[in-house]
Amino acid sequence: MFAHISSLSYTSSISVSSTISAFLRFPKLPFYPNRSLRRFSMEPPTSAAVDSIADKLKSQNLNNGKRVKLEELKWDNSFVRELPADPRTDNMPREVLHACYTKVSPSAEVDNPQLVAWSELVAEILELDPKGFEREDFPLKFSGETLLDGSMPYAQCYGGHQFGMWAGQLGDGRAITLGEILNSKGERWELQLKGCGRTPYSRFADGLAVLRSSIREFLCSEAMHSLGIPTTRALCLVTTGKYVARDMFYDGNPKDEPGAIVCRVAQSFLRFGSYQIHASRGGSDLEIVRNLANYAIKHHFPHLEKINKSETVSFSTGNEDDSTVDLTSNKYAAWVVEVAERTASLVASWQGVGFTHGVLNTDNMSILGLTIDYGPFGFLDAFDPSFTPNTTDLPGRRYCFANQPDIGLWNIAQFATAISAAQLINENEANYAMERYGTKFMDEYQAIMTKKLGLSKYNKQLISKLLNNMAIDKVDYTNFFRLLSNIKADPAIPEDELLVPLKAVLLDMGKERKEAWSSWVHSYIQEVSTSGISDEQRKASMNSVNPKYILRNYLCQSAIDAAEQGDFEEVRQLLKVMQCPYDDQPGMEKYARLPPAWAYRPGVCMLSCSS
């Protein structure tokens, strides 16, 4: 399929966004030429394997519900222990060579820091005693003013492609990882403070963050988790008591904003760029790529160390020699394939819920398939495939909603290139990883859309027409699918009543558009009426995958406006609502409403990367 994979400037020729844009009857947004994907299948785990996993889970020590104090956290710090360090420990901006990280402590100035909000769900994962959040010294510890006992803070070195161009060294410019803790289940969790001061990777920036962006990251991290989408998490958010100058619109008019710090939590913050930076430097740094791959497999993909020869992970390359490669013969190939599949599943879940990341540079791509680095993100309100929440991306809309599937593939190609440069995988294995991305994405996206419509099987024509109609009339993405579950599977419904269940989202339409929608609803009723599923069952099923509540930008802005005046209650209320996005929450209906007119002012729906 691909002639050669040898450099970090490699560009894929596969397109998967056609699976979305083909549904829309207007020209596809330019990114890649279309090319069909060969499809392979990988068999699911055997029942014996599933039983083995279940037995292992049962045997885990569940800690009997015990919660620990901050001083009792069990630190392991394998990243620092097992990977090469920068010999310097100062935070002077510079190029860091032959190292995966720099030991550096938080340096943000604080003045009576305050706890804005915290996540009980993350506290449960870490097994933290909720009373710890009431401690007077809690804001001091999670602003970096005083260190947690046992932590070994560092900033990670990585590179990346930004807007398609190789940017060289990037790294944690304002995030400092405190270290890794192990809970009673043996799960490894990294704690990281974002906005806590300069590191060697800060370049010309100050290493700080403002309350505005920190609230958005805190809330969206937890909202995405509750939607069932893989993501980094957020334990808490504190203000620093200091102000930070930011030019939000890059128009030469900076203003002082309240400073803040988010404690992010993930099993790993390794990203594609963690491997790219060392591969780009070549020579002895290629050994670091191998070391990082071994580290990731050991701690985060341990099952790949134990796989046996099996036809379920073999594939035909389709080349003239028709060679077959067994992934069990190369753990690195199996690893890259799994990273590709996790990434494909992640992007499919974004498309299903109408989420646009905004800055899908390779340094913002997690090897664990997590949503990472919440900058200018946005959920679709009015359905627009070209929507981007990032003002920086407006000229070409590289990272718009419809392009995300292609961008995911392009980024996988860069990741595979880095691993290939270290001679850990060959060309056929790299190509297969990209094939698997395309296949996995299409399978997952089709399954998601089938469930969203409550269909018994995938119907491309029906879904294509629906998305086309939604794009023409700029229909609210979230509310439409939620209301769709109210349609009755009764072909005898009178023509003038077909659109009644959808009237709250089908607004200001003329006769022609009403007829188009009536035609679609009629076809939809014909389809669901043959499923044999009752209206009640279908409604419950659809509502379990179509959220009522999403973190719309205007909701964030309302919470930000209040918080900047010292009132954090709306942040806490939004967190509570977004933790149950699929439930009908009596009294909370206002959080499911269409955006008000003020929501479309600059700075609410369109955001820059400045934070």
Active site residues: 363
- Residue 389 CA to residue 219 CA, distance in Å, equals 17
Phi/psi for 238 (5° steps) reads: -125, 150
Burial of 607 (0-12, 13-18, 19+ CB in 10 A): buried
- Residue 356 CA to residue 370 CA, distance in Å, equals 14
Adjacent-strand bridge partners of 263: 193, 236
Amino acid identity of residue 598, one-letter, is: W
Phi/psi for 165 (5° steps) reads: -110, 135
First and final C-alpha spacing in the chain: 41
- Residue 51 CA to residue 354 CA, distance in Å, equals 35
Rounded to the nearest 10°, the torsion over CA 379, 12, 391, 108 is 90
Q: How many CB atoms lie under 10 A from the CB of residue 489?
A: 19
**H or E element in which residue 266 lies:** strand 255-266
Closest CA to 349 of 482, 222, 215, 440: 440
* β 233-246/255-266 pair status: antiparallel
DSSP 8-state code for residue 530: T
- Residue 509 CA to residue 117 CA, distance in Å, equals 43
Q: Are 239 and 258 in contact (CB under 8 A)?
A: yes
35 φψ region: left (φ > 0), alpha (ψ -120 to 50), beta (else): beta
Q: How many CB atoms lie under 10 A from the CB of residue 191?
A: 23
SS3 of the chain: helix, strand, coil, percent, to 5: 40, 15, 45
Residue recorded with tokens 């029906």: 462
Q: How many CB atoms lie under 10 A from the CB of residue 473?
A: 19
- Residue 486 CA to residue 476 CA, distance in Å, equals 16
Residue recorded with tokens 């069932």: 228
Q: How many CB atoms lie under 10 A from the CB of residue 316?
A: 13
